Amino acid sequence: MTTMDRRTFVQRSAAAGGGLAAASGLYMLGGNAARGQAPGQSEGYGPLVPKPAQNDPSMVLRLPAEFNFEVISRQGKPMSDGRPTPGIFDGTGSYATGREDTTILIRNHENRRRPGEIPVVVPPDKRYDPDPTYDAGDTKLIVRRRRIGRNPDGTPRFTYEVLRDFAILGGTDTNCAGGVIDDYFWFTCEEVVNRSGVSGLKHGYNYAIPAFANEPVKAVPMRQQGRFVHEAVTELDGILYETEDRSLSPDTRVGTIGAVFYRFIPDRRRGGDDDDDDRGRRNGRDDDDDDGRRNGRGRNSGFDGAGKLQGLKLRNEPRANMDVGRVVGRPYPVEWVDIEEPDHDDDTDNRRDRVPRFTPTRIQAIDRGAAFFDRQEGVWTHDANPGNGGGDDDGGSGRGRDKVYFDCTAGGAQNLGQVWEYDPRRKTITLIFESTNPAQLEGPDNVVIVPRTGDIFLQEDASGTQFIRGVTPEGEIFDFAETVTNDTEFCGGCFDEDGFTLFVSQQGERSGNNPPGTTPSGPGELEGTPDGRAVTYAIYGPFEDRAGRRRRRRRREDDRGDDDDRRGRRDDD
């Protein structure tokens, strides 16, 4: 049995091509767009064909012929804690367990205190807000993969079993995306700013979840990281980077405001040159408290204490509008401005009179010269890239290893989407792609790297049919998945330890009329219908076998299947 911890497989992922080698593809794609050239179309994994879920034929996706999938979780289904699975699935992180056949998932539920939601229920003493209408939060799933024979085409057939699932954090609002932090934590982000009229508690924060906790954890807001409409977070060299999902709007004082790109620098920073512990982690050695953190003890994510919140500013252009007029491939020098009151008291997040303590975070930053964007979404670095390259000697370029990438779902002159790169070493920000045609990209939201190829999978949140679109390191685009029975957005994509399984969800819709904080009364409202059901899939197949990257797939899959068979026999003994 192959075993490794998460740090090891993240390092292998970077070395094997998952370390954002696909950034080169976005550069090429963006360069072609700047020259007025249409993007190249890759064959990808071949034409998409209708595929029913192997364990639920009512759920159908269009996938490449050699790929298959199972439904592993859906709204309304009873969890191990006895409660129905909440709906409105969103951002998800995956974590290695030391066994290649078992993966931990931490999944957000973007409940917005609206009728028809299934609440995330945790013990009252673990909730952040006692107001029952705050019904969002997170669930944890432990998923095992097992071989069960062969598919009709001769490839190994797998099944996926949820060994345990339960609500792990609750009492929050609109948990949208987040980020994997230090290999052991999921930071879940509230995409809202408000205050409970019952408890008086403020919302608009990040919360840390120890991924290896075996029971619900206390939801504690990390106020120092800012109160704003959070989208996602990632870390690089001991600094937390944060995106904000805010649209452009007029402002009488500065003309226009929008979303700000933030960083949080803790007072005691991991990743500094004098941090021996951090060097040990980067060399694959565990800290002394590793066993405790894997068992959920303690909350030392490295970002729990005091620190400084800052907004990105172009060095030579105060209050730069990054939505239009930016040249693809041109690096813009940047600096950072301090935000004096990151935990402000404006519950509307839109007050414009600049009263101390009541000025929104983004306006504080823009008043000091920060740049602004149109609706930032996902953000990632190579350290946030789950899954390894499966042992292939793909020899990734290593490009993007020390950079931060984020997208803007409505960015660009045509509001179709942008992708940005921040380079902390050079202190520059670069637009690496801007869509000019909805056929090439529309509304990029969640993003994940395919560990075995270095491709980027962009999960669109667009109108009508939803796609997962791949971008190759050569700058070509292909379709990987298309919705059929359910047209709600794809979200939460992440890979398992060996890069063989893509876990991805469809968000689902609110299906009942129950008031916020209460459970729908009937099975139909709990589980919803196939066309509007929140579901999480396990999609498996030859991810390394995309056109142009043919490998000795069948032998490796047979070896993987044999390993799973032997592991399954040992588990049964």
Percent of the chain with pLDDT over 70: 79
CA distance 532 to 477: 28
pLDDT digits (tens, 9 = 90+) for 255-286: 999 999 999 999 986 554 433 333 333 333 33
Is it the case that residue 19 has pLDDT exceeding 90?
no
CA distance 9 to 287: 17
- In three-state secondary structure terms, 472 is coil
If you average pLDDT over residues 538-559, what whole number do you get? 70
Is it the case that residue 207 has pLDDT exceeding 50?
yes
CA distance 233 to 235: 7
Is it the case that residue 391 has pLDDT exceeding 60?
no
Which has the higher per-residue pLDDT, 528 or 252? Answer: 252
| Amino acid 291: pLDDT | 46
Count the neighbouring beta carbons within 10 Å of the beta carbon of residue 266: 20
If you average pLDDT over residues 192-196, what whole number do you get? 98
Position 524 confidence tier, pLDDT thresholds 50, 70, 90: confident
CA distance 551 to 392: 9
What residues does 444 pair with on adjacent strands?
Answer: 460
Residue (of 313, 233, 296, 236) closest to 270 by Cα position:
236
If you average pLDDT over residues 146-162, what whole number do you get? 92
If you average pLDDT over residues 104-131, what whole number do you get? 97
CA distance 369 to 317: 8
| Amino acid 288: pLDDT | 36
Q: What is the mean pLDDT of the chain?
A: 84
| Amino acid 35: pLDDT | 66
Cβ within 8 Å of residue 210, ≥6 positions away? 184, 185, 217, 293, 296, 297, 298, 299
Residue (of 64, 65, 68) closest to 52 by Cα position:
68
H/E stretch holding 40 reads strand 40-41
Is it the case that residue 367 has pLDDT exceeding 90?
yes
β-strands 404-408, 239-244 pairing: unpaired
Is it the case that residue 369 has pLDDT exceeding 90?
yes
| Amino acid 553: pLDDT | 45
| Amino acid 523: pLDDT | 82
| Measured distance between the N- and C-terminal CA atoms of the chain, rounded to whole angstroms | 15
| Amino acid 432: pLDDT | 83
pLDDT digits (tens, 9 = 90+) for 288-326: 344 444 444 444 577 888 999 999 999 999 999 999 999
| Amino acid 339: pLDDT | 98
| Amino acid 280: pLDDT | 36
Phi (first) and psi of residue 539, to 5 degrees: -100, 125
Burial 307-342 (b: 16+ CB within 10 A, else e): bebbbbbbeeeebbbbbeebebeeebebebbebebb
CA distance 498 to 138: 25
Q: Which residue has the tokens 């976005």?
A: 26
The region of weakest confidence among 79-83, 383-387, 498-502, 526-530 is: 383-387
| Cβ contact 440:330 at 8 Å | no
CA distance 502 to 544: 12
Q: What is the pTM of this model?
A: 0.87
Is the dihedral angle over the CA atoms 404, 405, 408, 413 positive or is it negative? positive
β-strands 418-423, 428-434 pairing: antiparallel
Phi (first) and psi of residue 268, to 5 degrees: -105, 95
Question: What CA–CA distances, in Å, run from 205 to 117, 215, 350, 389?
Answer: 21, 22, 16, 34
If you average pLDDT over residues 365-384, what whole number do you get? 89
Position 427 confidence tier, pLDDT thresholds 50, 70, 90: very high
Instruction: Kindly state the tokens that stand for 84.
Output: 């129905």
Residue (of 279, 392, 381) closest to 15 by Cα position:
392
Which has the higher per-residue pLDDT, 572 or 445? Answer: 445
| Amino acid 382: pLDDT | 64
Is it the case that residue 484 has pLDDT exceeding 90?
yes
| Amino acid 307: pLDDT | 95
Which has the higher per-residue pLDDT, 535 or 279? Answer: 535
pLDDT digits (tens, 9 = 90+) for 71-80: 999 999 999 9
β-strands 476-483, 467-471 pairing: antiparallel
